[in-house]
Amino acid sequence: MSEFLNVKDLEYYYQDGDSRRYIFNDLNYNFEKGKFYAILGESGSGKTTLLSILSGMDTQTSGVVDFNGKSIQEIGLNNYRRNNVGMVFQSYNLIPYMTPYENLLIAMSITDNKIEEKSSVVYNLLDFLGITKTKANRLVTKLSGGEQQRVAIARSLSTNVDLILADEPTGNLDLETEETIVETFHLLAKEYDKCVIVATHSNEVAKHADVIINLSSGQKHE
């Protein structure tokens, strides 16, 4: 059994007076490096909540999330997010008054992970994702949506982490760009041994994943 990222007896609910609305109830799963996972579900199914818990941005009601054999609470949620998780958002969440180059350097400045020759790493990552040096030094707002999402993926990789979490990363993109982004996630999993977990409502995105996890009313179906 993989000791990379495991959820055990995960429970999450909202309390409304005397009633509870369960998003998850007794959810268990093991995520492995080298695989591309799609968490598929309609709005309200809990896929974004699950991603928030896996990233340490939200906390489950009960149960445990283990990373490399240790609970993320024991690691410390701030430390876990800073040093072990790369996040990609639907709205990119880039700093708009900075260039792609500067956005990645900011991310690198926060992590405790050791990164040598940061400038070279930034340009190489951006180039790997199709962002030329010229575009790397423009304001991110001067780039297309697809280019901004590639910058966001590069930023998630810049801190030298093995876990990439993406929340509806293709929701604002056209079909052609969506395919390119999905191919990138697949490459990161297969060629670079990352664990890539994407929350999506798109069957087109999900069909490219190694594993599809269907969420419905807090339940998991593979």
pLDDT of the chain, 222 residues: tens digit per residue: 467 999 999 999 988 888 888 888 899 999 999 999 999 988 778 999 999 999 999 999 999 999 999 999 999 999 999 999 999 999 999 999 999 999 999 999 999 999 999 999 999 999 999 999 999 999 999 999 999 999 999 999 999 999 999 999 998 899 999 999 999 999 999 999 999 999 999 999 999 999 999 987 555 444
Q: Are 172 and 90 in contact (CB under 8 A)?
A: yes
Which residue, 11, 51, 56, 61, is CA-closest to 31? Answer: 51
Number of compact structural domains in the chain: 1
Longest CA span, the chain? 58
**CA–CA separation, 177 and 203 (whole Å):** 16
pLDDT of residue 19: 87
Question: Domain holding 22: CATH number?
Answer: 3.40.50.300
What's the whole-model pTM score? 0.93
Which residue, 189, 183, 135, is CA-closest to 157? Answer: 189
SS3 126: helix
pLDDT of residue 221: 46
How is residue 209 annotated by DSSP?
Answer: S
pLDDT of residue 28: 94
pLDDT of residue 2: 60
Q: CB pairs under 8 A, 24+ apart, for 12-19?
A: 12/46, 12/49, 12/53, 12/60, 12/61, 12/218, 13/61
Residue type, 94: L
Helix then strand then coil, % of the chain, to nearest 5: 40, 30, 35
pLDDT of residue 105: 97
Range of the domain at 132: 5-221
Q: Are 82 and 55 in contact (CB under 8 A)?
A: no
pLDDT of residue 44: 77
